[in-house]
A and B are shown apart, each in its own frame.
Chain A
Amino acid sequence: MDCSHVFEFKFKRLIVVFTLFSAFLLVSLGVKAQVDSTHKASETHAETTEKKKFEIGKFALHHIADSHSWHVIGETYIGLPVILYAEGKLVTFNSSDFKHDDDAKVVVEKGGKRFVKMHEKIYLASAVANEHGQFVDLDEKHHAKNERPLDFSLTKNTCTLLISVVLLLVVFISVANSYKKRQGKSPKGLQSWLEPIILFVRDDIAKPNLGHKHERFMPYLLTVFFFIWFNNMLGLVPFLPGGANLTGNIAVTMVLAIITFGITVFNGNKHYWKHIFWMPGVPVPMKIFLMPLELIGIFTKPIALMIRLFANITAGHILVLSLICLIFVFNSIWVSAASIPFAIFIGGIELMVAFIQAFIFTILSALFIGMAVEEHH
């Protein structure tokens, strides 16, 4: 399989866009560093009374996970709506009812049910508290064993999702309108910013992989590209409305990968299926041997898509957080002289990763779809 065209992307057109975004986001990353450090400072200060040791892993994982409240700055949180479906009943309340408790110690009673929140997950509360004052039953690994209601809350990630959807709609519908207004003229403003990227997706992602059939799949490829890119960027903005790790969430990448998988499967022509179940041009025993491998291949491709995006974005967030946390691990302000510039440098790389991961997800989607719809002569 010839993959060389995967790497033949034209950076020149995008370098301007990149530079501007980088300039903006490097500044915001500096702010992120400050915000995080102040936030952390207050947290560690409170924790020093209980335990001296700062748990870097726990802190980073907490930051990249989804949350029922949105941290603004310092001790300020925005409570987000909690929507639960428990035993045939829909229960809603605001997450601030938990009073920022994340250790199952505060019980919220709504609709005849009792709920506790532990590690940003909502459980049906136990009748009595355990020896730590937690209304959950813990297993030996300190995981809650309680039943969980179906959680359709507007979490931080869900809100970011909705914000990004609105943002994408506003941006691209306004761009589409400027095309209507300036029909036949050269692009201007936002339109001229995004047109090279739209053309990049069309000419360097869709056309080489899908050929003359690219037009049918352009809406999906463009949407998935800009959805991933915008959300990667929003994830790098440390304050509202960014800061959520949406594209680093396995649920999001799973849905995107499943859509690619669905498009591939439903558009696969008979040559595609023949190559999977009865590989032409090889002896019969080989055909039988290849069948299960090819069948597994159908599933490993979208799974790789899912894991790749999730892991890359999550890793980037963890890296930046870890560098900031070094200050608190060593408990010295002088570490910041090294860790903050390095965090900013990594942040700069993350900007590139944000684009490249969107590009890779899109081009691999196009490649998989292209393999399924390819005409064999």
Chain B
Amino acid sequence: MDLLIPEVGLVVFQTIAFLLLMFLLGKFAWKPVLAAIKEREQSIDDALNKAELAKQEMARLTSQNEELMKQARADRDEILKEAKMLKDNIVNEAKTSAHTEGAKLIEKARIEIENQKKAALAELKGQVSALSLDIAERVLRSQLDDKAKQQDLVNNLLKDVELN
């Protein structure tokens, strides 16, 4: 059963070698390796978190944009509506004002015509009366000469009047 009896030499060598190995590896291998792994894991975690944040930010921005677009569309519709209303108002106003203006003008024209007519009638009346006086004067004068002649004269005068 030599196998179960540890040899002193190997025990000593193993103890020294293993402790030395543990010290050296601990200092020059495990420490930097574990630190690097940890650091990398940390950076991966950070990157993932950042990506998640960016995604959220993105979603937020998108929804914000959508909101803005909606707002803009609503604004545009509002403006268009207003503009249309304004236009209609202006047109209507123009129409009404044109109507009233026209009516005014027509009224004015009518009054003018009336006035003119009145003036013309007055003048005609004047002329008729003058003519009548004239005729009456001439009739009276020819009556004084001859009855037939007087008649002719009146007829002729009346013809003239008609020609006039």
List chain A positions with a Cβ less than 8 A from chain B. 61, 64-66, 83, 119, 121, 150-153, 155, 157-158, 161-162, 165, 168-169, 172-173, 175-176, 179-180, 183-184, 195, 198-199, 202, 215, 218-220, 222-224, 227, 249-252, 254-256, 259, 314
Contact = CB atoms under 8 A, between A and B. Distances in A.
Specify the main secondary structure of chain B where it touches its partner: helix
B94 interface: no
A169 B22 CA distance: 10
B102 interface: no
B157 to A, nearest CB: 134
Contacts of A157: 10
A260 B109 CA distance: 127
7 contacts: A61-B3, A161-B17, A165-B20, A176-B28, A180-B32, A249-B6, A255-B15
Contacts, number: 120
Given A157-B10, A254-B11, A255-B11, 13 more contacts: A153-B9, A162-B17, A169-B29, A172-B33, A180-B32, A183-B36, A199-B37, A218-B30, A223-B18, A249-B6, A250-B5, A252-B10, A259-B19
Contacts of A259: 18-19
Contacts of A158: 9-10, 13
Interface residues of B, number: 35
Contact of B25 (A150, A169, A215): A169
- Max chain A Cβ within 10 angstroms of own Cβ: one of B11, B15, B26, B30: B30
- Max chain B Cβ within 10 angstroms of own Cβ: one of A168, A173, A199: A173
B89 interface: no
A250 B13 contact: no
Contact of B21 (A61, A66, A168, A199): A168
A64 B25 contact: no
B15 to A, nearest CB: 5
Contacts of A180: 32, 36
A256 to B, nearest CB: 7
Contacts of A195: 37
B36 A179 contact: yes
A347 B6 CA distance: 26
B7 interface: yes
A223 B24 CA distance: 10
A155 B9 CA distance: 9
Given A218-B34, A219-B30, A249 B10 contact: yes
A202 B35 CA distance: 12
A141 to B, nearest CB: 11
